[in-house]
Structure 1
């Protein structure tokens, strides 16, 4: 009977050892699966974060480009406004020159008419009027 008790104890210890080894293997498998899952999730999240940073960088570049173009167009618009103002001023000056020329023409006609009148009076022998 002592042999059978010793054999039962030995068998029990072997089963305990097998169960312990099996549990250790299950624990290792669970840790490996958890690490694999964590790595996969981290990689997935990192890809998303990398894409977000990439898009943010692209948006910042586009924003700077748009700001530069806006400044360029604002400067060009200001130059056009200056040209239009100068053109309007030139048109006004031309109108003033035209008006001046018309006045001068009228004055010259008056002077010519007066000279012709004086000349006609001289030719007819009346002499100058005193």
Structure 2
């Protein structure tokens, strides 16, 4: 078994566009980063009718733990009457969704249509799980 070099997500950019919170994830979304990302995304989805966009374009790798996190966020948003959109133009990400039966579960956009997602954003560090 070959080891994959880790580029785990350790930061994200976040901004608000109208009533929508846009979170640009960077690095891998995997078992290492799941816990720290989950804590932050739980905070963002705590209120009624959260409107959340997760920009996955800077994410080079997502594993089953990362997919589980996306499902968790989707379920929390749906339970609160909100809306979740994923931004990804990656054919491999769409293939992963297809192979896991999640194609119709998420709204996946090639870009966020309410202004440039990659514009000025407030940066926050998100420590990877197990690092302090």
Please report the TM-score for the alignment, with normalisation by the length of structure 1.
Answer: 0.18
Higher strand share: 2
Choose between structure 1 and 2 for higher RCO, CA contacts under 8 A separated by at least 6 residues.
Answer: 2
Structure showing the higher helix proportion among its residues: 1
Higher gyration radius (CA): 1
